[in-house]
Amino acid sequence: MHSHNNNEWIPGLTYQERDYEIIDYKMYCDKKTGLWLRGPEPERLEQGRYIACIGGAQTFGCFCDKPFAGLMQESLNIPVVNYGIGGAGPSYFLQHEKVFGLLNKAACTIIQVMSGRSESNSVFNTGGLAYLTRRSDGRRLGARAAYQSLLRRKMIFGRKNLKRIITETRNNWIRNYLFLLEKIDAPIVLFWFAMREPEYREHYIHVSTLLGGFPHLVNREMLETIKKEADDYVHCVTDRGIPQRLISRFTDKPVKVDPGHPRKDLKGRPWSHNFYYPSPEMHKEAAGLLMPACKKYV
C-alpha cells in the first residue's frame, strides 16, 4: 500500500489531495501499522492513557477542521487516535492485524457503525473498502456504480438473486463486525453517526433506495446484533450544518472539489457544498454525546 502510483488508492491520502484547498488533514504514516492516518500525530501513547477511534470517512472527518476525535482530545486532554479510513468497513480493519495492538491498549475504543457496501460478496471483492472489484471480469468500480450495475442486470439476474446477494453482504458485515469486536480487549463504545435512523427497508428500484443513506445497507436488525457485543452504545443522528459550503483556506472564497477519485475514469461532478460527510456542527454534537461514555474509562 505504500507505493503511490496513479492506479493506487491510498485511503486518507486521497482526501488530502482532493481537499487540500479547503483543509490540511496533517496526514502521517503510522509506524506501527503502516496506515496513513489523520493527524496531528500523537507524541506518545501510554497504555490506558489514550482513546482510539475506528471508522470510515465520518470518523476521519472530511471537510472538518476538528473531527469528534480532535474535539475530544482537547476536552479530555489525552491523545485520541483517529483510525478513520475512507470507505472502510469492518473487514478492512481485520486485514490490518497490527491495529489491534494499539486498539487493545487504549482506555476505550470508539467503533463507528460502518457501511455495509464495503463488504465483499459472491459478485464483488471489496478488500474492505468502497472500491469494488467485479469477480467475473476484474473490473474496479465505486460501490455506487457497482450496485447500479447489479440493478441494471436485475432483469437477467432476477430479483430473487439480487435479494440473495444483499442478504449475503449483510451477513458478511455482521460476521466481520462480530470478529472485530471480539478481537478488541479494551472497552468498546459502538457509535452510530449518521443523518438517518437505523430503520430502513431497501427497495430494488434505484441504487439510492437499495443502499439507503449512510451507513449503506445497514438496518436496525444488523445494528442490534452487533450492539450486544459492545460495552456502550452512543447514537447521534443529526444533519446540522448540511449542506456545508466549501471554502478555500487560502482565499476564504467558495471553491469546488471533485468528489471523485484521483484516477480520471472515476471522477464525479464537482461539489460546491458538502451534502454527504458530517459537518463541523455534526462533529461537535458527536463529541458531546461520546464524552460521557468515554469518561467512564478514561
Instruction: Give phi and psi for 216, each to the nearest 5.
Output: -55, 140
What count of other Cβ atoms lies within 10 Å of the Cβ of residue 67? Answer: 30
Residue 270 CA to residue 45 CA, distance in Å, equals 39
CB 59 within 8 A of CB 277: no
CATH for 13-295, options being 1.10.3470.10, 3.40.50.720, 3.40.50.1110, 3.20.20.80: 3.40.50.1110
Residue 153 CA to residue 144 CA, distance in Å, equals 14
For residue 270, the cross-strand partners are none
Tell me what pLDDT residue 5 has: 39
Per-residue pLDDT reduced to its tens digit, 60-87: 999 999 999 999 999 999 999 999 999 9
For residue 257, the cross-strand partners are 271
Residue 42 CA to residue 146 CA, distance in Å, equals 37
Alpha-carbon torsion 66, 67, 68, 73, what sign?
negative
Per-residue pLDDT reduced to its tens digit, 88-142: 999 999 999 999 999 999 999 999 999 999 999 999 999 888 888 999 999 998 8
Take residue 25 and report the three cell numbers written for it.
Answer: 488533514
Helix (H, G, I), strand (E, B) or coil at 213: coil
- Strands 36-37 and 28-29 turn out to be antiparallel
